[in-house]
Protein backbone atom coordinates (compact mmCIF):
# COMPACT_ATOMS: atom_id res chain seq x y z
CA UNK A 1 0.00 0.00 0.00
CA UNK A 2 1.25 3.46 -0.77
CA UNK A 3 2.79 5.37 2.14
CA UNK A 4 0.65 8.44 1.29
CA UNK A 5 -2.05 7.61 3.83
CA UNK A 6 -1.72 10.17 6.63
CA UNK A 7 -2.57 7.69 9.39
CA UNK A 8 -1.58 4.00 9.47
CA UNK A 9 -4.54 3.21 11.74
CA UNK A 10 -6.96 4.64 9.15
CA UNK A 11 -5.20 2.69 6.40
CA UNK A 12 -5.33 -0.59 8.35
CA UNK A 13 -8.99 -0.08 9.25
CA UNK A 14 -10.05 0.65 5.67
CA UNK A 15 -8.18 -2.39 4.37
CA UNK A 16 -9.72 -4.65 7.04
CA UNK A 17 -13.23 -3.41 6.31
CA UNK A 18 -12.69 -3.80 2.58
CA UNK A 19 -11.49 -7.38 3.00
CA UNK A 20 -14.43 -8.19 5.27
CA UNK A 21 -16.97 -6.79 2.81
CA UNK A 22 -15.41 -7.98 -0.43
CA UNK A 23 -13.99 -11.44 0.27
CA UNK A 24 -13.00 -13.22 -2.95
CA UNK A 25 -13.57 -16.94 -2.84
CA UNK A 26 -12.95 -19.76 -5.25
CA UNK A 27 -9.19 -19.72 -5.50
CA UNK A 28 -6.82 -17.59 -7.48
CA UNK A 29 -7.94 -16.11 -10.78
CA UNK A 30 -5.71 -15.31 -13.74
CA UNK A 31 -5.56 -12.45 -14.32
CA UNK A 32 -6.06 -11.48 -10.71
CA UNK A 33 -9.31 -9.81 -9.71
CA UNK A 34 -8.29 -6.30 -8.64
CA UNK A 35 -10.73 -3.57 -7.69
CA UNK A 36 -10.32 0.20 -7.51
CA UNK A 37 -12.20 1.62 -4.54
CA UNK A 38 -12.80 5.36 -4.61
CA UNK A 39 -12.44 7.18 -1.28
CA UNK A 40 -13.46 10.77 -1.99
CA UNK A 41 -10.71 12.42 -4.03
CA UNK A 42 -8.37 9.47 -3.47
CA UNK A 43 -8.59 5.78 -4.30
CA UNK A 44 -7.06 2.44 -3.48
CA UNK A 45 -6.56 -0.71 -5.54
CA UNK A 46 -7.09 -4.04 -3.78
CA UNK A 47 -6.34 -7.43 -5.30
CA UNK A 48 -8.81 -10.07 -4.13
CA UNK A 49 -6.45 -12.91 -5.07
CA UNK A 50 -3.09 -12.00 -3.54
CA UNK A 51 -4.08 -9.18 -1.13
CA UNK A 52 -1.88 -6.68 -2.99
CA UNK A 53 -2.87 -3.15 -1.99
CA UNK A 54 -1.99 0.22 -3.45
CA UNK A 55 -3.76 3.35 -2.51
CA UNK A 56 -4.49 6.75 -1.21
CA UNK A 57 -3.47 8.25 -4.52
CA UNK A 58 -5.50 9.77 -7.31
CA UNK A 59 -8.03 7.52 -9.04
CA UNK A 60 -6.21 7.57 -12.38
CA UNK A 61 -2.99 6.26 -10.80
CA UNK A 62 -4.86 3.48 -8.97
CA UNK A 63 -6.66 2.45 -12.16
CA UNK A 64 -3.30 2.22 -13.96
CA UNK A 65 -1.88 0.10 -11.12
CA UNK A 66 -4.91 -2.20 -11.44
CA UNK A 67 -4.35 -2.58 -15.20
CA UNK A 68 -0.63 -3.28 -14.65
CA UNK A 69 -1.37 -5.87 -11.94
CA UNK A 70 -3.93 -7.66 -14.13
CA UNK A 71 -1.40 -7.76 -16.98
CA UNK A 72 1.37 -9.04 -14.72
CA UNK A 73 -0.82 -11.90 -13.45
CA UNK A 74 -2.41 -12.94 -16.75
Where in the chain are the domains? 8-72
Q: What is the mean pLDDT of the chain?
A: 77
Q: What is the pLDDT of residues 18-40, one digit of tens each?
A: 666 666 555 667 888 888 888 77
Cis amide prior to 31 (ω within 30 degrees): yes
Burial class (CB in 10 A: 0-12, 13-18, 19+), 26: exposed
Euclidean distance between CA atoms 74 and 70, whole angstroms = 6
List the beta bridge partners of residue 36.
45
Query: What is the pLDDT at residue 2?
Result: 46
Amino acid sequence: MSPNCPDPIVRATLVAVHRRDHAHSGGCCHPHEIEVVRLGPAAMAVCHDCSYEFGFDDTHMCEQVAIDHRSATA
